[in-house]
Structure 1
Amino acid sequence: MKFTVLGSGAGIPSRTRNTQSYILDVVEEINQYFLIDASEGVQHRILHTTVRPSKIKHIFITHLHGDHIYGLPGFLSSRAHQGGEDIPLTIYGPPGLKEWIGLTLKTSHSQLNYPVHYEEVSHNVQYEVEGFTVDTYLLDHTIDSYMYVFNEPEKLGKLNTDKLKAIGIQPGPSYKEIKNSGTFSHEGVTYDTKAFLSDPVPGRKVSVHGDTRVITKPDYLSLLEGSDLIVHEATYLEREIEKAHMYFHSEIHNVLQNFSQIDYRKILFSHISNRYDEDDIRLIKETLDEHVSIAHDYLEITIPRISL
């Protein structure tokens, strides 16, 4: 599993940062990519990666501000000619998204050669997506803006082949059948498969925010608890907490203070204002812990599966 930043900037792009779009690479797990937000030019950004548009079957839009959606009609049109023919696509997003896309495609006389299904998201809903669960949480912004929490299912533990041999079952195709069963029988005795497996390996958890103020609610922090990766906006980097709050955005140190009460493995700050140049960001990075990163365009983060 990998997380790729296609755009790390806030509302107005800079020379080094496009506006916000991400790819959650779950090709190894389910042979797909999840696209999260679709900033202007996202189809061009993808050309600089190994991502195949036809393998993007689910798109998650955090909110309907232009810097998060202006690239979506272009991507949809290009996907139709990049191997996407007849491959269904589901788009998750706030109310109004379906209407906007439909009007844009109609006005531009654009035709899609694959079916599109829309899921109109709301607060505190869980979706089943290709074996993953995806939770939504309504954030605190000028319009409805959501966090998506991607939860990978746990993986079965390893089969203890020595224990199987001890009861007389030799290596062969039956091992796979046993591992995927609840119980199995041998020589008239029924066994619980769990007794022959090591502990399951927990699934990974990736929490991706749209634009938001800092939120201190217990249910929000509980939802983030145990994330392998949290992606949060940091439009402000220099302790302008009151200003960030006034404009419905976040300041990096305030976010870190808020998250000091939960456990997580890594946090990635994105949605960086174009007022900061790379020297500013380098100086701020030097003050941060090793589990904290500031995004840049085309950054890739590998999210390993951690065994208990």
Structure 2
Amino acid sequence: MRILVTGGAGFIGSHLAESFARNGHEVTVLDNLEPYYDIGIKQHNVETARKASHESDGSYEFVHGSVTDPEIVRELITDIDIVYHQAAQAGVRTSVENPTKPNRINVDGTLTILEAARDADVTRVINASSSSVYGKPEYLPYDEEHPTTPVSPYGVSKLAAESYVRVFNEVYGLPTVSLRYFTVYGPRMRPNMAISNFVSRCTKGNPPIIYGTGEQTRDFTYITDVIQANRTLLTDGGADGEVLNIGSTDNIDIHTLAEVVRDEIDPSLDLKYADRHAGDAEHTHADITKASDLIDYEPTLSIREGVRKFIDWYEVNREWYEPLVLKS
């Protein structure tokens, strides 16, 4: 199958590209290598996926460009069966500082992808959305019917993009699915995420820093569970037109998460606290009943199991990954 992964040099996108290439698909990645964090990590992601294609019957092509460029997008989508739209300007805190940029990339870029996909009559567009669309909880866990009141420009941009995805399904008949990810983590994750920060600091003998009181709660979803949900949508059209929560098996507060990481690496370390950032959600917790019903989604790793796996990976890959984490 011919697959386009936008944002395919990023964390989730690169794992998708690697998985598809390793399984014999023809993969094209579109990414502008935005230096939101050290692009050395993204370049490593590209080489990892390219290597996977060499070890299989699949193929891999990297295209340096933006989803906001209609000419590039139209040219690429002409020969594509499935689009995995992962490209976005990430970062709640970044969006608070500059709300225009996530709107341009996350909203306008999504619309560019959808128009090209409609005209090319692709089989399906799978859109990466976010739990940030929920914002203030009226009840927990969030199901897909929960009101969407995002508390950051990033969340607003993802909700707007998601709405365009739905409309293109309803109005134009383009098969689409939006997956609302709940804090994805794992090997090659962005260096500015809580778990990677905690692991990096503890590994060097520094206490983890918690922003706020640590009472904030999160679903942390391991990358292999997210990839499996996406892989199902290659051939399963049962969720077309839907929005699905993709979360984890449990929920944890940030204080306890920092303790779990610290205790795995160096129990003698203290915990440090700093001011909380504007725009951060107080709580997230996913109801995954709908995803379970429609695509048989079943997360496999608890947060404690996932943290251990990430620490093991970090120790093996520390030589190349850690210097780039420190630079970001």
Q: Which structure shows the bigger proportion of residues in helix conformation? A: 2
Q: Same fold (TM over 0.5)?
A: no
Q: For the superposition of Structure 1 and Structure 2, which TM-score range results when normalised by the shorter chain?
A: 0.3 to 0.5
TM-score, length of structure 2 as denominator length: 0.32
| Max Rg structure | 1
* TM-score, reference length from structure 1: 0.33
